[in-house]
C-alpha cells in the first residue's frame, strides 16, 4: 500500500536520476558530489560534507495535508498477475505438463475439466513434474476410473471427454481508500552559491517536467508550488534553496488472490439458478 515513505523514496529516486543522469560512476550534473536522502539533515554531518565540497539534497514532508478524496471506486484494480511457470496441453486423450514447478511463494493450481466436471490439484513446491501429473491424474480418476499418469503425461480413458486444462496463478489487487495532497520540501544545501545554482538547474527542470510520480501501486500527481532561497547560513558555508512540490497520491490497500480456472453453475429444469452458482476454484477472477 502506498504511504508517505513511498512518496519520499520516489522523490529521492527521481532527484538521483537528475543529479546523476549517466549513473553514479560518472560525475554529477550538479557540479559536485551529491548526496540525496529522506528526512532532515543532521547538522554535524551536513557541516562536514559542505566543508568537503559536497552538495546535500534532503527530501522532507512539510506538516499538514489536504484531503482530496472525491469519489471512491468500490472496485479493485489489478496490480500484477504471476506468469505461469508451467503449462498443460491436450492431444487426444493425453494431457501433457511442461515448464517448471513454481516456488512456494508462487502457488499454481492445475485444473482439468473432464465430462463437464472440474478436477483440481494444487502444486507443491516439493513436487516434480511427474508428481504433479500423478496428483491431477488421481483427482480425475475419482470420476473417470482408469486415468493414469506416466512422467509428465496423463492418459484419460475414452469414456472421459477432456473439455479443457488450465493453470491458475496468483495476482494482486489494489483499492484506493483515501486520497491526499501534501507539500514536500526538497532542500539543496551547497557549499557555494554557484554550486547551489548548478544543482537547482539540474534538479528543478526534471521535477517540473514530471507530471506523475511513479509509486509502487499508482501514478501520483506532482506539481510545483514554490522555490524560496535562503542565504542565512552563508557564514557556515551553507547556501540553501528549497524546491516545494505538491504530491497528490492515494492511500491504498492491497490483497493477493488466485485467478479463476473454472466456474460451475447449477441448473434447474427452468434454467440457471443463480443462487447456487459457485466457483470451483474458490478465488476471484483477475
Question: For the chain, what are the domain ranges?
Answer: 4-71+176-253, 83-168
Phi and psi at residue 54, to the nearest 5°: -95, 155
Phi and psi at residue 90, to the nearest 5°: -125, 130
pLDDT attached to residue 272: 42
pLDDT attached to residue 232: 66
Q: What is the CATH number of domain 4-71+176-253?
A: 3.30.2000.10
Residue 59 CA from chain centroid, whole number: 23
Asked if 181 and 153 count as a contact pair (C-beta separation under 8 A), the reply is no
pLDDT digits (tens, 9 = 90+) for 213-228: 999 888 999 999 999 9
Helices (H), 124-185: 129-141
**Which of 108, 220, 113 is closest to 161 using CA atoms?**
113
Say how many CA atoms lie within 13 Å of 11 toward its Cβ.
Answer: 33
Q: For residue 120, what are the CA distances in angstroms to 45, 139, 247?
A: 60, 7, 46
d(Cα 264, Cα 33) in Å, to the nearest integer? 63
Could you give the 3-state DSSP secondary structure of residue 162? strand
d(Cα 250, Cα 180) in Å, to the nearest integer? 6
DSSP code at position 192: S
pLDDT attached to residue 281: 38
pLDDT digits (tens, 9 = 90+) for 169-206: 888 877 888 899 999 999 999 999 999 999 999 999 99
Could you say which residues of the chain have pLDDT below 70?
Answer: 1-2, 72-75, 78, 232-236, 256-286
**Which of 229, 185, 176 is closest to 8 using CA atoms?**
185
pLDDT attached to residue 73: 65
Amino acid at each position: 500500500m502506498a504511504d508517505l515513505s513511498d512518496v519520499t523514496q520516489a522523490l529521492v529516486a527521481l532527484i538521483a536520476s537528475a543529479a546523476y543522469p549517466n549513473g553514479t560512476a560518472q560525475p554529477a550534473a550538479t557540479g559536485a558530489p551529491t548526496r540525496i536522502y529522506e528526512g532532515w539533515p543532521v547538522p554535524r554531518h551536513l557541516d562536514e560534507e559542505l566543508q568537503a565540497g559536497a552538495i546535500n539534497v534532503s527530501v522532507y514532508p512539510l506538516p499538514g495535508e489536504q484531503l482530496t478524496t472525491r469519489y471512491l471506486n468500490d472496485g479493485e484494480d489489478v496490480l500484477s498477475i504471476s506468469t505461469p511457470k508451467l503449462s498443460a496441453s491436450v492431444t487426444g486423450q493425453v494431457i501433457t505438463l511442461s515448464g517448471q514447478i513454481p516456488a512456494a511463494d508462487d502457488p499454481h493450481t492445475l485444473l482439468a475439466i473432464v465430462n463437464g466436471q472440474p478436477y483440481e490439484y494444487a502444486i507443491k513446491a516439493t513436487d516434480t513434474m511427474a508428481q504433479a501429473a500423478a496428483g491431477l491424474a488421481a483427482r480425475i480418476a475419482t470420476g473417470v476410473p482408469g486415468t493414469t499418469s506416466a512422467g509428465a503425461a496423463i492418459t484419460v480413458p475414452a469414456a472421459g471427454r477432456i473439455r479443457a486444462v488450465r493453470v491458475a496463478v496468483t495476482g494482486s489487487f489494489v483499492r484506493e481508500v483515501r486520497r491526499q495532497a501534501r507539500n514536500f520540501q526538497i532542500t539543496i544545501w551547497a557549499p557555494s552559491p554557484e554550486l547551489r545554482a548548478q544543482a537547482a538547474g539540474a534538479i528543478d527542470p526534471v521535477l517540473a517536467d514530471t507530471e506523475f510520480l511513479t509509486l509502487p501501486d499508482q501514478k501520483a500527481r506532482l506539481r510545483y508550488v514554490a522555490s524560496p532561497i535562503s542565504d542565512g547560513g552563508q557564514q557556515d558555508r551553507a547556501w540553501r534553496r528549497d524546491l516545494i512540490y505538491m504530491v497528490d497520491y492515494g492511500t491504498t490497500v492491497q490483497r493477493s488472490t488466485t485467478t479463476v480456472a473454472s466456474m460451475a453453475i447449477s441448473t434447474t429444469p427452468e434454467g440457471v439458478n443463480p443462487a447456487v452458482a459457485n466457483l470451483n476454484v474458490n478465488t476471484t477472477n483477475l
